[in-house]
Structure 1
């Protein structure tokens, strides 16, 4: 079975990692024009948030 992890990066997107490889970066700031994927807008609008790991059941 694949190991899936979600990691909220500091001031950035949620990284979806499968077996240690990043497979997607999801928008967390709400400003992406390519939702649900990150397009880097967080750095332009000054989005601030803590890094956090999310447990996947």
Structure 2
């Protein structure tokens, strides 16, 4: 049976995070993995308290 693949889109937001839309597997620095099925915001500024995810700290 052929598995249908879902498109994943990466959107660069001006003065904001990288938005990844679609299914994503995240591999953390400790080797643990996490599955995301919807939109996920990744920090680009380094101010987040929730690495690698954006927590809106760039707005402060």
**TM-score, normalization: structure 2?**
0.64
Among candidates 31, 36, 42, match of residue 58 of structure 2: 42
Unaligned residue ranges in structure 2 (runs of 5+): 24-36
Aligned residues: 43
2:47 aligned counterpart, secondary structure: coil
Unaligned residue ranges in structure 1 (runs of 5+): 45-57
Post-superposition Cα deviations, 1:25-56, rounded to whole Å, max 9, x if no partner, equal: 00010110001000001111xxxxxxxxxxxx
- The 3 A distance-change label for structure 1 pair 13 and 25 is same
Query: Cα RMSD between the aligned structures?
Result: 1.8
Name the CA distance, whole Å, in 1 between partners of 2:45 and 2:38. 19
Q: Deviating runs (4+, > 3 A) in structure 1?
A: none
More RCO (CA 8 Å, sep 6+): 1
Name the CA distance, whole Å, in 1 between partners of 2:8 and 2:40. 12
